[in-house]
């Protein structure tokens, strides 16, 4: 789908319920009909400042969950793009950003934040999928390794009670998904 209104797309598209969902570099969520490419809706989420958006959204139970680089996680109605809730996870610094694939499982949303400073704490956040309130595990502090540089990581998977994710610091982390 070519679109002159859309900024660059730096996340993998999400296909769910016959729709294709993307988040553009200006923090605008887009929905297209998968078969025809027809635009269904757009919703501006971030302040509109051009910035790489790196968190691929997730979809579950008619909701689209989106994390933007300015530290907000959103639940949108997947049918019309209406914002159901918005939560600021309070990132460690102005330069930090939410940048992992959003994971939705068991009524919770998980997403990780990149921090440019090696001395900073890195966090994976857990939110209730219905309300956006911090989940039982709140935010999980990731053990800081001695490796220099920022902290980028891959998306997560959940296996039973374990939240598992890898990072560019050559660390594979496994946390209890309920307690951190």
Output the pTM of the full model. 0.86
Domains along the chain with CATH numbers: 14-176 (2.40.128.630)
pLDDT tens digit sequence for 38-58: 999 999 998 766 677 888 999
Q: What is the DSSP string of the chain?
A: ---TT---B-S--EEETTEEEEEBTTSEEEEEETTT--EEEEEE-S-S---------EEETTEEEEE-TTSEEEEEETTT--EEEEEE---SSTT-EE-SPPEEETTEEEEEEE-S-TTS-EEEEEEETTT--EEEEEEEEEPPPS--S---EEEEEEETTEEEEEETTS-EEEEETTT-
pLDDT bracket for residue 153 (50, 70, 90): low
């Amino acid at each position: 789908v070519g679109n002159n209104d859309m900024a660059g797309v730096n996340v993998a598209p999400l296909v769910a319920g016959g729709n294709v969902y993307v988040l553009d570099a200006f923090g605008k969520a887009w929905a297209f009909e998968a078969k025809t490419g027809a635009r269904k809706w757009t919703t501006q989420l971030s302040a509109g400042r051009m910035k790489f958006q790196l968190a691929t959204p997730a979809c579950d139970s008619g909701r689209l969950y989106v994390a933007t680089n300015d530290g907000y996680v959103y639940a949108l109605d997947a049918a019309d793009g209406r914002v159901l809730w918005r939560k600021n996870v309070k990132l460690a610094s102005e330069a930090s950003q939410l940048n992992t694939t959003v994971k939705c499982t068991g009524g919770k949303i998980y997403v990780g934040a990149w921090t440019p400073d090696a001395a900073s704490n890195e966090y994976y956040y857990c939110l209730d999928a219905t309300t956006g309130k911090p989940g039982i595990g709140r935010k999980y502090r990731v053990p800081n390794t001695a490796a220099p540089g920022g902290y980028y990581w891959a998306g997560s998977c959940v296996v039973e009670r374990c939240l598992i994710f890898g990072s560019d610091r050559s660390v594979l982390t496994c946390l209890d998904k309920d307690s951190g």
